[in-house]
Structure 1
Amino acid sequence: MSPHGTGEGREDDTHRIALVTGAARGLGACIAGRLYDRGYRVALTDLDEEGAVRAAAELDPAGRNAIGLALDVRDKDAFVRVRDRIVAHWDALHVLVNNAGVAKAEPLMDITPDSFRTVVSTNLDGTFFGCQVLGAYFAERGYGRIVNIASLAGQNGGTATGAHYAAAKGGVATLTKVFARELGPHGVTVNAISPGPQDLPVVREMVPPEQLARIEASIPAGRLGRPRFIADMAVLLASEHADAVTGACWDANGGLYMR
C-alpha cells in the first residue's frame, strides 16, 4: 500500500494542478507525493514512462488525482505535448516543479563532450524549456508557480558530483532569477531550492560508502538531508500565498554552505 494512502483524508484545500518532472523515483516522487497529500492533482512525468505511471498509481490507484506521463525534458516540444495533455485531462495547470536531473561523479579532466552534453541538457536545458513553455502558459492566465530544483553543487562547485552537474545547477539558479524577473509582472513566481547531499538511493548508488561517510561527517548538522523536508519547501513555494517570494534560492544543506 502507498505510504500516502488512497486519497481519503487528503488535505483537500486546493484542487490545483501540479506537474513534477523526474518524478518516477527519488526526490521527484517525494515532491509529487507531498503535493498530492496537500490536495493537488499531480502529473508525475519522467523519461521512464513505466516508472512514472507506477509511481502515480501508488499515490492514487483510481487515477483521479495522479497520472503518470512520459516526458523527455531535453525536448521543448515534449513539454508542450505534456502541458496540453494535462490541460485536456484536468482543464488547468498551476504549478511546475522542474526536478528532472542526472548526475555523474566523474573526474574533471575525464569528462567527455558527450558526457558533458548529456548532463547539461537534462539539468539545464530541461529547466529552461520547462520555464519557457509553462511560464508562457501561466503568464497568459495571470497565475503560476515554478519551483526549480538546483543544488549545493551549483553554489560551491560540488563535493561528490562532476563539474558538468555543478555547472548545470549553477545555471539553474541563474535561470531562476531571469525567469522570475520576466514573469513576475504576470502573476508568476519562479524560485529555486538548493539541497545539499540527500538521504536518497541515487546518492548511495553514486557515491562510494567511504566517501559518503566522509561527506556526512563534514556536514555541520551531522546528517544527510531529508527529502521529505525538501518536498515541504517545494509545497510552500508552490502555494498561492507565496506570491511575494520570487527569484529566491532556498538553501537546505545542513550548514555546508552558509551565506
Structure 2
Amino acid sequence: MPGVQDRVALVTGAAQGIGAAIAARLAADGAKVGVLDLQQEAAQAVADEITAAGGTAIGLGADVSKRDQVQAAVDTLVGEYGGLHILINNAGVLRDNLLFKMTDDDWTMVMEVHLRGAFLCSQIAQKHMVEAKYGRIVCMSSTSALGNRGQSNYSTAKAGLQGLAKTLAIELGPFGVTSNAIAPGFIETAMTKATAERTGTTIEAMREAVAAAVPVRRGGVPDDIANTVAFFAGEESGYVTGQVIYVDGGRGLL
C-alpha cells in the first residue's frame, strides 16, 4: 500500500514526546521527514536517531509563531527533499492557571504557539500541496477542547484547532488536500510528567488514575497518537477529511 512512502512530511514540536514519535513513525513508513522544533539542536538529535534507524530526516529550528522562521524552515525542507506533502501541526505549550490567576502573557503565549503557529505552517505548506494536488494536514487538538479546569487558554486553543482543521478541509479539498484533527487524552510524555509534578502528584499516580477511568484500562503513549497520524497521513485516506478523532482510551464514552 502506498501509505506515506516517498512523501515529504513536516512535524512541528517534534523534538520530544508525541511529535518525536510521529516523526519516527512517518519515517519508518517511508516518508522523508522535517523534524521541526524551537531548538534546532534538539530537532536534529531526533532526526539523527531517525537516520540511524534507517529513515530519512532533517532537523529544523523555528518559532512557529514567526512567519519568517516558518518560511525559512519550509524552504529548507523543500530544497532538501523536493516538496512538502504532509504537515503535522503538533507544536504546543502549556501555561495552565485558573482564570482569575491567568496573565495576559499566559493567554497570548498559548494562542501564539498553538493557533498562530498552526495557521502559519498550514498557510505556507498549502502552497506546495496545492501545486502538487496532494496533501495531508493534521492538527493536534486535545480532549481539553471540551473544557478543562485551569486551562481556559489551552482548551480554547485546542478547540480552535478543530475549527481550523475543518475549515482547511473545506477550502483545500478541491485541490487534493485533506485536513483532520486528533484529540489525545492522557498521553504519557515529559510534558504530562511536569504537569503531574506541578500539581503535587506523580506521573505514576496520574497514569493509574487514568487507567482506572477509561474502558481500555491503561494510559496512552505517544505511539498511540503516531498510529492515528499514520492513518490520516496515508494516501489511502483521501476520502477522510474534516474529522476529529478522540484518542483517549474511550473516556468520552463514560
Query: CA distance change for structure 1 residues 104 and 114 in 2, over 3 Å: closer, same or farther?
Result: closer
Partner of 2:235: 240
Tell me the equivalent position of 1:141. 132
- Secondary structure of the residue aligned to 1:197 is coil
Structure 2 residue 206 is the aligned partner of structure 1 residue 206:
no
Q: Give, in whole Å, the separation in 1 of the partners of 2:43 and 2:112.
A: 20
Letter in 1 for 2:120: F
CA RMSD of aligned residues (A): 2.2
Deviation at 1:206, TM superposition (A): 1.0
**Unaligned segments of structure 2, at least 5 residues:** none
Q: Distance in 2 between matches of 1:73 and 1:157?
A: 25
Look up the equivalent residue of 2:112 and give its one-letter code: S
Deviation at 1:125, TM superposition (A): 1.1
Q: Are residues 1:173 and 2:162 paired? A: yes
Question: Residue by residue, what CA displacement relative to the aligned partner does 1:158-187 show, whole Å, maximum 9, x if unpaired?
Answer: 25x511011100000011111110000010
**Structure-2 residue corresponding to 1:253:** 248
CA distance 1:15–1:163, shift in 2 (3 Å): same
Partner amino acid for 1:190? Answer: S
Higher deviation after alignment, 226-235 or 130-139: 130-139
SS class of match (2:63):
coil
Q: Which residue of 1 aligns with 2:222?
A: 227
* 1:98 counterpart letter in structure 2: N
1:158 aligned to 136, 145, 148, which one? 148
CA distance in 1, matches of 2:5, 2:209: 43
- The match for 1:99 among 90, 114, 135 is 90
Q: Secondary structure of the residue that 2:171 maps to in structure 1?
A: helix
Q: Retained in 2: the 8 A contact 1:131–1:146? A: yes
Opposite residue 101 of structure 1, the aligned amino acid is G
Q: Which runs of 5 or more structure 1 residues have no equivalent in the other structure?
A: 1-10
Amino acid at match of 2:225: I
2:17 corresponding residue in structure 1: 26
Q: Quote the offset at 1:12 in angstroms.
A: 9.9
Counterpart of 2:80 in structure 1 is 89
- TM-score (norm: length of structure 1): 0.89
Q: Which residue of 2 aligns with 1:218?
A: 213
CA deviations 1:115-170 (Å, max 9, x no partner) are 1000111111111111111123211221111111111001x2025x5110111000
Measured after TM superposition, the shift of residue 226 of structure 1 is 2.3
Distance of 1:64 and 1:36 partners within structure 2: 5
Same amino acid, percent of matched pairs: 37
Distance 1:243 1:12, change over 3 A: closer
Kindly state the Cα deviation for residue 214 of structure 1 after the two structures are TM-superposed: 3.9
Distance 1:111 1:220 in 2: 34
Corresponding pairs, count: 247
User: Runs of 4 or more off by more than 6 Å in structure 1?
Assistant: none
Q: Which residue of 1 aligns with 2:31?
A: 40
* Structure-2 residue corresponding to 1:16: 7
Q: Please state if 1:60 is matched with 2:51.
A: yes
**Of Structure 1 and Structure 2, which has the larger fraction of its residues in helix?**
2
